[in-house]
Amino acid sequence: MAKDRKVWFITGASRGIGLDIAKAALSAGDRVVATGRDAGAVKTALPDTDDAIALQLDVTDPKQATTAVAEAMEQFGRIDVLVNNAGYGQLGVFEEIGHDAILRQFDTNLHGTLHVTRAVLPVMRRNTSGHIFNLSSIGGALGFDIASIYCATKFAVEGFSECLALEVKPFNIGVTIVQPGFFRTDFLDERSIRFSERAISDYADYAQATQGFYTSQNHAQAGDPAKLGAALVRLSREKTPPLRYAAGSDAHEYLSGAYEARMAELSDWQKLSKSTDGAAVSAA
């Protein structure tokens, strides 16, 4: 294999952003290991080429992650780019979301990312090279209505990724947190989103109005997932890729506003922040 042809390992690749990333990598001449809970659906969605294989992988199962990585290595001999994309959105007012639903959300969005990263890292360390894309969201940097649990998982992905980047830098492994805005995928379809199953009357008007807004945006979002796939291919070839990549003009706007607000608040409360310092300790 030519050195400039990368091997991508992509989770959640049967549809949506994961599938478009796979197609973009193949179009660039790279090879792809596309995974999903239904390997048949992944295979059907992918272009018919010897440069791609479809594997079954439920990211919540660490054993499946290890097996899928071993199969990828048997087929292509290396993994250069990992895309942790598998996930879904659990929406609803916090009090209305049950404990089991919260666990499922964390198992997929956060623990799935941890399981697959743990399986792939030994391969990248041996090669002293690699690039990990962890799919976060603008909801990984600021909060949105009825998205407390979803945002909690994405905030966790960002914290994990930022620390991981420090740990793997000596091995020439890069980490990029991808923060998409609203993209025209099936993310708001029933297959990709969950709403709370019980209702508390005090929240009724607020919850219904917000849920109605999200539903109305389905397949009307501004972002083009094919262009996002192409952007990640470009980033995979950068010598110094960014730690964070805001995908979409809406993402740039939302994140800029959030950072500016935080800086203003930090400045407003600077005096109180510094008031908690202890007395200086004099040198003996």
Catalytic residues: 136, 150, 154
Question: Are residues 186 and 192 in contact, defined by beta-carbon separation less than 8 angstroms?
Answer: yes
Identify the CA nearest to 87 among candidates 54, 110, 68, 62. 110
The rounded distance, in Å, linking the Cα atoms of 172 and 128 is 6
Helical (H) or strand (E) element with 42: helix 39-45
Question: Are residues 9 and 79 in contact, defined by beta-carbon separation less than 8 angstroms?
Answer: yes
**Per-residue DSSP letters for 208-253?**
HHHHHHHHHTTT--SB-HHHHHHHHHHHHT-SS--SEEEESHHHHH
Order of all β-strands in the sheet with 173-180? 52-56, 31-36, 7-10, 81-84, 130-135, 173-180, 244-247
Backbone angles phi, psi at 179, to 5 degrees: -115, 80
Q: How many CA atoms lie within 13 Å of 69's alpha carbon, on the beta-carbon side?
A: 22
